[in-house]
Amino acid sequence: MYRFSRALFLEIKDLVDPHPDTSRPEARRIVLTACEATVERLARDRRYFTRPARSLFDEIRHLFPLSQHAHVYFAIERTLELAKVHIQQEYARANEANARCRATTRKGHSCQRTPLPSREYCPSHAHLEEPLPVGAAA
C-alpha cells in the first residue's frame, strides 16, 4: 500500500501552495501523512470507507491553490481506484489460498486439503464433483 500513497504524494506534492502561516515542507508533510492514512484505512476498512477520494481531498484541499483543485482531485481519485483494484485482487488471492475442500471425511469432519484450481474438491474427493453438462464444455 506504501507505493500507492507515495505515488499519489509524488504526483501532487509540487502543487502545494500553503497559507502564509504554514511552511511548504510542513504542508507537504501534512499531505504525505493524509495520503498514507487514507490508503491505510482503505486497505483495513474498505467496506466502511465509502468515499475515500472525497475524504482525502476535503482534508488537504486548503493546501492547494483553487486553480489546481481539479487536478489534485482527479489524481487522488485515479490513484485510489488503482489501490481499490489492487486490494480486491489481494483479498481474492488470500481467499483462494485459504480455500478448503467442501467434502467431509468418514468421521464427519471437514476435509482440510486444498481444492484443485477452479474446483470445489481436493484430488481425493474429485469424484464428488458434478460433471459439467455436455453443452457447457464447448
- Tell me the pLDDT tens digit for each residue of 112-134: 887 777 778 888 888 887 776 66
Q: Which residues contact 12 (CB under 8 A, 6 or more apart)?
A: 31, 64, 71, 72, 75, 76
> What is the distance in angstroms between the CA of the first residue and the CA of the last residue of the chain?
41
Say how far apart CA 57 and CA 115 lie, in whole Å: 44
- 110 beta partners: 104
Segment 62-115, tens digit of pLDDT:
999 999 999 999 999 999 999 999 988 888 777 666 677 878 888 888 888 877
Say how far apart CA 10 and CA 79 lie, in whole Å: 11
